[in-house]
Structure 1
Amino acid sequence: MDKELFANLVASLAEAGKIAKGEAKPARTTTLNKSGKTNKVQAKPGNKTATVPAIPHTKIDARQVREKTGLSQSDFATVMNVSIKTLQNWEQHRREPTGAADSLLRVFAAAPELVLKALHQA
């Protein structure tokens, strides 16, 4: 491992330990209000505070999104950068997309042509 990278890792762990003990303040904090309609995310990098309303989490139907694009399962899985089995599990509601895949599906649902153009697939 690179010595500088290792030194940065050690410094990060030392800082995390101080934050955990309350000896230092984190550079950024995220706070979620648990009431479903008024969720807000607050990020505090340095002295700035940004408040962004959280989008209520609703399930996304991967099959409907894919059909809206007109792509086959194989092509859509390739565009989403997931295996066809993963896409099939989403479409058959055995699994739910999470993280970046969930976000990309939501963008696809809103503007499929734009996403395909952005990904150079159109």
Structure 2
Amino acid sequence: MTNEFYDDLAQSLSQALDIAKGDAEPSRKFTHDVPDIKLVRAKTGLSQQQFSEKLNISPRTLQNWEQGTRNPTGAAITLMRLLDKNPELIMDA
């Protein structure tokens, strides 16, 4: 391992620890706009039970999303955006 590589790695780890402790702000943040899950489900015409079965998630997870106590992440956000624009897609699942 070269000294330059080690120095860069050590500096990155130090910065990550400062950010985790709240002593520093990250250089960039990534956010995802999450559509209104309850509205998306309403557009499909499905009950919570039916919608959660189609998505292969627990009804409790869906309830948490709809109530805003939890948010979908990653691919689930993309899926919700697609269903928001085209609710019929879920019928093919």
- TM-score w.r.t. structure 1 length? 0.50
Structure 2 segments unaligned to the other structure (5+ residues): 6-27
Residues 17-75 of structure 1 deviation map (CA, whole Å, 9 limit, x = unaligned): xxxx6xxxxxxxxxxxx598xxxxxxxxxxxxxxxxxxx73221110000010000000
Alpha-carbon distance in 1 for matches of 2:37, 2:68: 9
Residues 72-92 of structure 1 deviation map (CA, whole Å, 9 limit, x = unaligned): 000000111110000000000
Q: Which residue of 2 aligns with 1:116?
A: 90
- Give the superposition deviation at 1:96: 0.4
Alpha-carbon distance in 2 for matches of 1:95, 1:65: 16
**8 Å CA contact 2:65, 2:72 repeated in 1:** yes
Alpha-carbon distance in 1 for matches of 2:56, 2:85: 19
Aligned residues: 70
Q: CA RMSD in A?
A: 2.6
Q: Percent identity?
A: 45
The structure that is helix-richer by fraction is 2
3-state SS in 1 of match to 2:46: coil
Structure 1 segments unaligned to the other structure (5+ residues): 1-20, 22-33, 37-55
The structure that is strand-richer by fraction is 1
- TM-score w.r.t. structure 2 length? 0.64
